[in-house]
Amino acid sequence: MPDGSGAARLGVLSRPGCVGLCEQCRIRGLAVCRALEPQALDELAALATRLELPAKKLLFDEGEPARSLFTLVEGVVKLYKALPDGRRQITGFLLPGDFLGLAHFTSYAYSAEAVTEVGLCRFPREGFLRLLERHPALERELLSRASSELAAAQEQMLLLGRKSAKERVASFLLSFARRQAMVGRELVALPMSRNDIADYLGLTIETVSRSIRAVEEEGLIRLVDRHHYRVVDPDRLRRAAAAG
């Protein structure tokens, strides 16, 4: 259990209701971002409210006024954009510690939906932006996160524009394992549906299913069940993903 200064260092995530979540946060959370002064963390904590949502619950919808920003504390969230006729593109899956809601304008540019049960910290937009002005270190952290998201988006454009179905699936399985720091034989959870994977990779569920099967039959991964796999041969998987 963190003492007073420990609580300050863990910021918003060590508030009542967040106990037990600090493990992830220490690794990935906004609260422990480099060089953020205890002062800023306390102010962040004062601003935050805790939020829990069941799986499949919409967090916010594209075009809706952006009133809040969030850090994901627990569970998985998907971000997506949709066309009027219902075609969807999932632009990313968020894991605990990820930040969401930075809107360039005053409304969200994408929708966010809980994939699993999720726990979040919510920050009201106004207060957060004022806090941002007073704490350049926080702004730096956001800039750093935005540029790594941008790099990930560019990688995804390469995938969507130029990779074959099998390469897409291999890339996805590899990068998802990587994000959980599991490229060995540890079990990797795949909490989203085949439909979500398809909408993330620009494919159909049938093609996703067949491609996963193909990757498994080549011995690059081992499917434990629909929602769990092991990376069996990281090197060949990397090659099947056309580098990454």
User: By the 8 A CB rule, do 112 and 78 touch?
Assistant: yes
108 versus 229: smaller Cβ distance to DNA: 229
DSSP H or E run through 194: helix 194-201
∠ CA 182-187-189 to the nearest 5 degrees? 90
CA distance 57 to 68: 16
Coil, strand or helix at 165? helix
DSSP of 130-160: HHHHH-HHHHHHHHHHHHHHHHHHHHHHHHH
According to the binding rule CB under 8 A, does residue 154 interact with a second copy? yes
According to the binding rule CB under 7 A, does residue 225 interact with DNA? yes
Closest distance to a second copy from the beta carbon of 20 (Å): 31
Q: Which of 82, 165, 183, 242 is the binder for DNA (CB under 7 A)?
A: 165
Tell which positions 95-134 bind a second copy, by CB under 8 A: 102-104, 109-110, 132-133
Tell which positions 59-98 bind a second copy, by CB under 8 A: 79, 81, 83-85, 87-89, 91
Q: Which of 67, 125, 140, 178 is the binder for a second copy (CB under 8 A)?
A: 140
According to the binding rule CB under 7 A, does residue 78 interact with DNA? no
DSSP H or E run through 204: none
According to the binding rule CB under 8 A, does residue 179 interact with a second copy? no
* Site for DNA, rule CB under 7 A: 164-166, 193-195, 202-210, 212-213, 223, 225-227
